[in-house]
C-alpha cells in the first residue's frame, strides 16, 4: 500500500520533501502515544510528527472540541468576533510570563517568526538580524534568511542582513571543552565582536533555547541570559523561538527561555499547541504588538476550528500537569541513554522530553566524526521494533526523541529498551 502511495508522492510533491525510511510509513491513525500504519502495524511514537503531538494522538478532549466547532462554523479568523481565538489568546497570554502580553495567532511557526521579524524590524527601523549558528526558523523568504543551517536555504538572496553567533551547539563548538562559565564568556565575547562589526544597528536577536532541527543542541543554562544583558545595552529585541521548546516540553520550565534567567521581548510558538492542528503565534507586550500602524491580518491564523482544538489541548496540558510528567519521564530516558556507554554515542543531551543522541564513528575522538549512516540504521532498527524516533542535526546524525507529554512509565521503559537495542544493533 505504502509503495503505491510513494510513487504518487514522487509525482506530486517537490523533490526536497523529506520522507523517512527505506520503505516510508503511511500513517493511518493514532491513539495516545501510538500510531498505526496503513498495513496495521503499531508504533510507539517518540517523535510526535516533530513535536507536533503535544499531549496525545486522538485526545478525546481535542477531538470533541474540533467536532463541536466544526458543527457550528468553520470560518476565517478575522472581521467578526471569534470566541475560540480570544479565549485561546487570553489563555496563552496568561501562561506566557510576558508582561502586558498580547498574542497574534498564525497558521504556522514560519509565519509566527515572520510576524516577530516584522514587528522587531519595523519598530527598530533596521533589517539587521542576529541569529545563532545551526538554527532553523522556518521556510519563508524571511525566515530562511535568518536560519543558520544553510542546508535549509534554497537561495542565497535575503531580505535581511543577518549575522550569526556561536552558542547553541556546545558539543561541536570551537569553545567545546571549556567550563560552562568560560563557554558563556567566550560566546558573549563573540557576540560583542559581531555586534561591533555590524555597526550597532541590529533590530533583533532570534534564538531557539534548544535548537530543534539543529539536533536538540543548546548552550549552557544562562547563556541566553548573558546575551540578553548585551542586547539590552544596545536596545536590540530578543525573540525566543519556542516552536519546539514551549509548553513544558523541557520539564523544568514551561518555556525554554526560562532557563536563561532573563525575559525575552517576543516569543514565537507553533507545532505542539495545535496537537496536529495548524496553529502558531507570536507573544509580545502591548507596546511592541501594537506598534504596527497598518491593518495586518491572517485569514486562518486563529481560525475558530484550530483555536477551539488548541484551547482544549492547552487546557488538558495544564489540568493534567504534563510539564511535571515531562520532568518525571524525561530523566528515565536520559539516564537510560547515558548509561549505554556505547562507542557510537558521542553525546546525550536535552531536557525533559526533548532529548538528542549524537551518533559518531567509533574511535574518532571528541567531538567524534558524524555518523549519519548509523543514525539511519538506528531509525530502521527502531521501526522494526515498533518505535518511531526522529533524526536531525547538520549532518543528520542526531537521534531526536520527543514523545507526546502524556508518556507513561511503561511506554518510556518500552521505548527506551527498543532504542537501546537498535543502537547496539547498529554499532559496527
In the complex, the residues that contact ligand PMP under the rule CB under 6 A are: 50, 108-110, 113, 136-138, 208, 212-213, 241, 243-244, 270, 280
Please, are residues 194 and 165 in contact by the beta-carbon 8 Å criterion? yes
Q: How far is the CB of 53 from ligand PMP (least distance, A)?
A: 14
> Where does 156-265 show beta strands of DSSP type E?
161-165, 202-207, 237-241
Residue that has been written with the C-alpha cell 559496527 in this structure:
428
Q: How far is the CB of 264 from ligand PMP (least distance, A)?
A: 14
Whole-angstrom distance, CA of residue 209 vs CA of residue 242: 7
Residue nearer to ligand PMP on the CB measure, 115 or 187: 115
Q: How far is the CB of 139 from ligand PMP (least distance, A)?
A: 6
Q: How far is the CB of 136 from ligand PMP (least distance, A)?
A: 5
Residue 36: φ, ψ to 5°:
-125, 140
Residue 31 CB coordination number (10 Å): 12
CA distances in angstroms from 363 to 62, 177, 261, 325, listed in the order given: 48, 18, 38, 37
Tally the C-alpha atoms within 13 A of residue 418's C-alpha that lie toward its C-beta.
22
C-alpha closest to that of 148 among 199, 200, 205: 205
Residue nearer to ligand PMP on the CB measure, 108 or 217: 108
Residue nearer to ligand PMP on the CB measure, 110 or 307: 110
Residue nearest to ligand PMP (CB): 109
Residue nearer to ligand PMP on the CB measure, 136 or 183: 136
| Dihedral sign (CA 305, 308, 311, 316) | negative
Residue nearer to ligand PMP on the CB measure, 110 or 121: 110
Residue nearer to ligand PMP on the CB measure, 243 or 407: 243
Residue nearer to ligand PMP on the CB measure, 154 or 200: 154
C-alpha closest to that of 120 among 241, 212, 227: 241
Containing 267, the helix (H) or strand (E) segment is strand 266-269
Please, are residues 30 and 36 in contact by the beta-carbon 8 Å criterion? yes
Whole-angstrom distance, CA of residue 244 vs CA of residue 138: 12
Residue 381 CB coordination number (10 Å): 19
Q: How far is the CB of 269 from ligand PMP (least distance, A)?
A: 9
Q: How far is the CB of 174 from ligand PMP (least distance, A)?
A: 23
SS3 of residue 333 by DSSP = helix
Please, are residues 282 and 103 in contact by the beta-carbon 8 Å criterion? yes
Q: How far is the CB of 77 from ligand PMP (least distance, A)?
A: 17
Containing 34, the helix (H) or strand (E) segment is strand 34-37
Residue nearer to ligand PMP on the CB measure, 65 or 270: 270
Q: How far is the CB of 108 from ligand PMP (least distance, A)?
A: 4
Q: How far is the CB of 36 from ligand PMP (least distance, A)?
A: 24
Residue nearer to ligand PMP on the CB measure, 303 or 342: 303
Beta strand 202-207 with 237-241 is parallel
CA distances in angstroms from 135 to 118, 198, 404, listed in the order given: 19, 19, 23
Q: How far is the CB of 336 from ligand PMP (least distance, A)?
A: 25
Residue nearer to ligand PMP on the CB measure, 307 or 342: 307
Angular region, 90: left φ>0, alpha ψ -120 to 50, beta rest: alpha
Amino acid at each position: 500500500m505504502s509503495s503505491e502511495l510513494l510513487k504518487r508522492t514522487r509525482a506530486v510533491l517537490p523533490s526536497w520533501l523529506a520522507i523517512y525510511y527505506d520503505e516510508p510509513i503511511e500513517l493511518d491513525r493514532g491513539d495516545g502515544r501510538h500510531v498505526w500504519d496503513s498495513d496495521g502495524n503499531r508504533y510507539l511514537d517518540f517523535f510526535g510528527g516533530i513535536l507536533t503531538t503535544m499531549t496525545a494522538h486522538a485526545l478525546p478532549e481535542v477531538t470533541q472540541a474540533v467536532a463541536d466547532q466544526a458543527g457550528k462554523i468553520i470560518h476565517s479568523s478575522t472581521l467578526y468576533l471569534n470566541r475560540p481565538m480570544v479565549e485561546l489568546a487570553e489563555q496563552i497570554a496568561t501562561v506566557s510570563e510576558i508582561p502586558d502580553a498580547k498574542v497574534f495567532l498564525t497558521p504556522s511557526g514560519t509565519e509566527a517568526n515572520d510576524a516577530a521579524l516584522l514587528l522587531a524590524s519595523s519598530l527598530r527601523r533596521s533589517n539587521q538580524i542576529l541569529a545563532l549558528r545551526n538554527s532553523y526558523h522556518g521556510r519563508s523568504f524571511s525566515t530562511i534568511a535568518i536560519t543558520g543551517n544553510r542546508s535549509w536555504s534554497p537561495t542565497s538572496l535575503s531580505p535581511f542582513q543577518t549575522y550569526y553567533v556561536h552558542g547553541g551547539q556546545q558539543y561541536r563548538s570551537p569553545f567545546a571543552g571549556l567550563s560552562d562559565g568560560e563557554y558563556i564568556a567566550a560566546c558573549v565575547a563573540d557576540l560583542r565582536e559581531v555586534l561591533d562589526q555590524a555597526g550597532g544597528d541590529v533590530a533583533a536577536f532570534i534564538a531557539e533555547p534548544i535548537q530543534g532541527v539543529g539536533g536538540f543542541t543548546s548552550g549552557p543554562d544562562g547563556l541566553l541570559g548573558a546575551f540578553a544583558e548585551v542586547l539590552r545595552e544596545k536596545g536590540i529585541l530578543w525573540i525566543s523561538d519556542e516552536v519546539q521548546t514551549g509548553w513544558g516540553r523541557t520539564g523544568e520550565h514551561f518555556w525554554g527561555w526560562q532557563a536563561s534567567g532573563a525575559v525575552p521581548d517576543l516569543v514565537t510558538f507553533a507545532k505542539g499547541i495545535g496537537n496536529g492542528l495548524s496553529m502558531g503565534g507570536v507573544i509580545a507586550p502591548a507596546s511592541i504588538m501594537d506598534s504596527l500602524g497598518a491593518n495586518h491580518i491572517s485569514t486562518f491564523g486563529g481560525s475558530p476550528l484550530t483555536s477551539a482544538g488548541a484551547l482544549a489541548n492547552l487546557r488538558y496540558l495544564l489540568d493534567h500537569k504534563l510539564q511535571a510528567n515531562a520532568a518525571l519521564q524525561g530523566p528515565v530516558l536520559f539516564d537510560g541513554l547515558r548509561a549505554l556507554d556505547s562507542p557510537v554515542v558521542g553525546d546525550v543531551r536535552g531536557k525533559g522530553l526533548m532529548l538528542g543522541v549524537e551518533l559518531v564513528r567509533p574511535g574518532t575522538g571528541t567531538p567524534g566524526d558524524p555518523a549519519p549512516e548509523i543514525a539511519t540504521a538506528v531509525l530502521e532498527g527502531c521501526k522494526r521494533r515498533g518505535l518511531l524516533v526522529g533524526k536531525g542535526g547538520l549532518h543528520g546524525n542526531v537521534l531526536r526523541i520527543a514523545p507526546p507529554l502524556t508518556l507513561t512509565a511503561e511506554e518510556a521503559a518500552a521505548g527506551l529498551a527498543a532504542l537501546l537495542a537498535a543502537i547496539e544493533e547498529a554499532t559496527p
